[in-house]
């Protein structure tokens, strides 16, 4: 499996924010996206998630352009798991109720996943009663529930303590060992396997 980006450029409100981005990743590799706030890290991840079409360039998934063919796009999004800025959780539902849809849909074991993230004891507690770190781990549990080949993670460690960050790194390594690709934007140090680093700079400086 490969994912590559060739000469990708994108505008936000008529302002160029991503200019000629290039990279290529194989199975078991990772890309760490770095850059200051507002530089376009989230925009790049959103393009990679298939939400937004790049203004110039394309994304190649196994050498196929994902934005040119709706069928390829549909197959691609089935193979990615996305963690955005927001946790996408419903405060009034319990942790289990929030994740049930995904566990049932992908026929994955919810309790096994919760155990991996030390969340089993919180399964029946409404999300509004959890701490920000616990909410982030719940959002990460959704990533684990989807049998995806590519993980796109926007600041996954926000709100997590050192112990949970170490646990997360182990989970990431295990995913990569099984052939997965991780693309992550982060401000913290994440020692990922076979990691490449993409530094984003303002387009005017490139």
Partner 1 sequence: MPFFLLLQREILLSFRHASDTLGALLFFILTSTLFPLALGPEPQKLQQIAPAVLWVCTLLAALLPMERIFDQDYEDGSLEQLFLLGIPPSLLAFTKIISHWLCTSIPLLCVSIPLTLLYNLPISILPIFILSLSLGTACQSLIGGMANSIALGAKQNVFLLPLLTFPLLTPVLIFGTMLIDAKLHNLAFLPHLQLLGACFTIALPFCPLAAGIGLKLAIE
Q: Residue numbers of the site for partner 1 (CB under 8 A)? A: 49, 51-53, 74, 77-78, 80-82, 84-90, 92-93, 97, 100-102, 104-105, 142, 146
Strands 181-185 and 195-199: unpaired
Measured from the CB atom, the residue of 10 and 33 that comes closer to partner 1 is: 10
- 93: number of Cβ within 10 Å: 15
Render 154-183 in DSSP notation, one character per residue: ESTTTT--HHHHHHHHHHHHHHHHTT-EEE
- As measured in angstroms, the least distance from the Cβ of 90 to partner 1 is 6
Measured from the CB atom, the residue of 100 and 120 that comes closer to partner 1 is: 100
Distances (CA, A) of 144 to 63, 73, 118, 138, 147: 26, 21, 13, 10, 7
Measured from the CB atom, the residue of 86 and 162 that comes closer to partner 1 is: 86
Measured from the CB atom, the residue of 19 and 142 that comes closer to partner 1 is: 142
- As measured in angstroms, the least distance from the Cβ of 106 to partner 1 is 9
For residues 168 and 192, is the Cβ–Cβ distance under 8 A?
no
Distances (CA, A) of 142 to 15, 109, 114, 171: 33, 11, 10, 13
- As measured in angstroms, the least distance from the Cβ of 139 to partner 1 is 9
Measured from the CB atom, the residue of 82 and 172 that comes closer to partner 1 is: 82
- As measured in angstroms, the least distance from the Cβ of 81 to partner 1 is 7
- As measured in angstroms, the least distance from the Cβ of 181 to partner 1 is 16
Rounded Cα distance, 183 and 129, in Å? 30
């Amino acid at each position: 499996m490969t994912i590559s980006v060739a000469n990708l450029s994108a505008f936000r409100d008529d302002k160029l924010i991503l200019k000629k981005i290039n990279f290529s990743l194989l199975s078991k590799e990772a890309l760490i996206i770095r850059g200051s706030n507002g530089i376009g890290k989230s925009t790049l991840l959103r393009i990679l998630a298939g939400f937004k079409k790049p203004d110039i360039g394309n994304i190649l998934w196994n050498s196929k352009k994902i934005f040119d063919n709706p069928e390829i796009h549909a197959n691609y999004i089935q193979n990615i798991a996305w963690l955005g800025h927001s946790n996408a959780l419903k405060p009034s539902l319990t942790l289990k109720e929030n994740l049930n849809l995904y566990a049932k849909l992908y026929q994955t074991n919810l309790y096994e996943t919760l155990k991996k993230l030390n969340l089993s004891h919180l399964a029946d507690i409404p999300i509004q009663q959890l701490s920000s770190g616990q909410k982030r781990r719940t959002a990460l549990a959704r990533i684990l529930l989807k049998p995806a080949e590519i993980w796109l993670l926007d600041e996954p460690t926000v709100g997590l303590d050192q112990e949970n960050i170490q646990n997360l790194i182990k989970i990431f390594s295990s995913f990569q060992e099984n052939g997965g690709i991780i693309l992550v934007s982060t401000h913290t140090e994440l020692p990922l396997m076979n990691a490449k680093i993409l530094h984003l700079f303002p387009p005017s400086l490139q």
